[in-house]
Amino acid sequence: MHRIGYVLTEGFQVLALATQSVFEFANIVVGETFYAVENYSAAGGEVRASLGLLVSTRALADNSEADTWIFTGVIQPLARQTPAAELAFARKVSPQARRIAAICTGSFVLAEAGLLSGRRATTHWAHARDMQKLYPEILVEDDRIYVIDGPVWTSAGMTAGLDLALAMVEKDLGADIARSVAHKLVMYQRRSGGQSQHSELLDLAPKSDRIQSALEYARKNLNQALTVEDLAKSAHLSPRQFSRVFTAETGQSPAKAIEGLRLEAARLMIEQSRHPLEVVAHETGFRDRRHLREAFIRGFGIPPQAVRREVRERA
């Protein structure tokens, strides 16, 4: 049995508790209680979440044991007064536990306890700059869903905690179990740690189902030409009407939006695979390697080779 201890602080962000469902459904998939989850706090008793929900917790003590400790975040980490007992406990259990993790701004607790010094880590993008400024000895990767550095795991904000928990399940029980858990939780996709916190689809934020369907069609067919006529057909609109509605809803032309989707997919493919750039260009709809490079510099300010080099150095 693998024991997981969640450490809650007054005002913790309630979405952190949603990650416990990942471990719950892992137990269901394997047909036994592989994970045992308990909630803790410095003093024990009821702890109030940011939305007002009261959660019963056990007090952190010298005999508190878990294989994985997960520290949760708050909405305003710079205003947080982390209990001294919580910091002392984190320092004590860090060398003993199999893993020590933080969800969202829970990374600030690990940073304050000195557990991230000299390590790579991430947190919610809105607070990453503050973390880097306060703790310059940490290599803060502000554009990652989650980061694993040895036994220390940190995630970006909110829903990225689900990806972190699912990655733990994959590490413990294998990829097939993790896929089954994701399917049962109706997770849109399993995101890797290297995936950017930035989402091109989210930025576009179309309002109508028709434009959303067209973008989803585009995302699934990036290796195709994807003309306005193709997109309009998937949205059941005329090309002229589609272009007008698309621009009104997203603030971008269809061509610019599709290039953004292609760039996002290409960057992810470069970060997570060893495919030659010619293959990356073909799979994401660029004419050739040169076209990919031009679009990369235009979109990110750096060539694709620089991204691949950065990934290798980080590895």
CATH annotation of 2-184: 3.40.50.880
Span(s) in the chain for CATH 3.40.50.880:
2-184
Architecture of domain 200-314: Orthogonal Bundle (1.10)
pLDDT averaged over consecutive 10-residue blocks of the chain (315 residues)? 96 94 97 97 95 95 91 92 94 95 96 96 92 94 87 90 93 92 77 50 71 88 92 92 91 90 88 88 93 88 84 67
pLDDT attached to residue 204: 67
Query: Residue 77: CA atoms inside 13 Å, Cβ hemisphere, count?
Result: 25
Q: Answer for the pair 51, 80: CB distance below 8 angstroms, yes or no.
A: no
pLDDT at 286: 93
Q: Do 295 and 232 form a contact (C-beta atoms < 8 A)?
A: no
List of residues 6+ apart from 37 with CB closer than 8 A = 4, 5, 6, 20, 23, 24
pLDDT at 14: 93
In this prediction, residue 194 carries a pLDDT of 47
**Rounded distance, CA 304 to CA 296, Å?**
6
How far, in Å, CA of 304 to CA of 315, rounded? 17
CATH 1.10.10.60 range(s) for the chain read 200-314
Q: What is the pLDDT of residue 168?
A: 95
**pLDDT for res 83:** 93
Q: How far apart are CA 152 and CA 182, in angstroms?
A: 23
Rounded to an integer, what distance in angstroms lies between the CA atom of residue 15 and that of residue 222? 33
Q: Please, are residues 193 and 38 in contact by the beta-carbon 8 Å criterion?
A: no
